[in-house]
Amino acid sequence: MKRILVVDDEENIRFLFKEELEEEGFLVELASSGEEALERLSLFRPDLITLDIKMPGMNGIEVLKRIRELERNLPIVLCSAYGDYKQDFTTWASDAYVVKSADLTELKSTIRKFLERR
């Protein structure tokens, strides 16, 4: 079973992602901040991370940088409320950028794309 780490400061988003992704057959672990995500990384050993950008404390871009230092090949999907950061070159280190929506089709297909490729 593929393991996904969902990083988001919004509890309900975490809840939604967990429900939806588990239904897709993934094992889902949650982190409510960048710091927590970095802690979970070595224990949980995810196959993919979804990462919110706007978070209190360490933001998604920073987390992205730190994870890349540790795990060069781990797929990371940036997941933001808007496309604001799409053109920001600091997000290029991620593998995909998905704008959050109630319709999770795009997110799911993006995740599947990476996990099936592996």
Q: Is 45 or 113 the residue whose CB approaches other proteins more closely?
A: 113
Q: Is 15 or 39 the residue whose CB approaches other proteins more closely?
A: 15
Does the footprint of other proteins cover residue 116 (CB under 8 A)?
A: no
Q: How far apart are the first and last CA of the chain?
A: 13
The least distance separating other proteins from the CB of residue 33, rounded to whole angstroms, comes to 15
The least distance separating other proteins from the CB of residue 42, rounded to whole angstroms, comes to 28
Does the footprint of other proteins cover residue 69 (CB under 8 A)?
A: no
- The residue with tokens 């704008």 is 99
Q: Residue 64 corresponds to which amino acid?
A: L
Q: Contact, 65 vs 46, CB < 8 A?
A: no
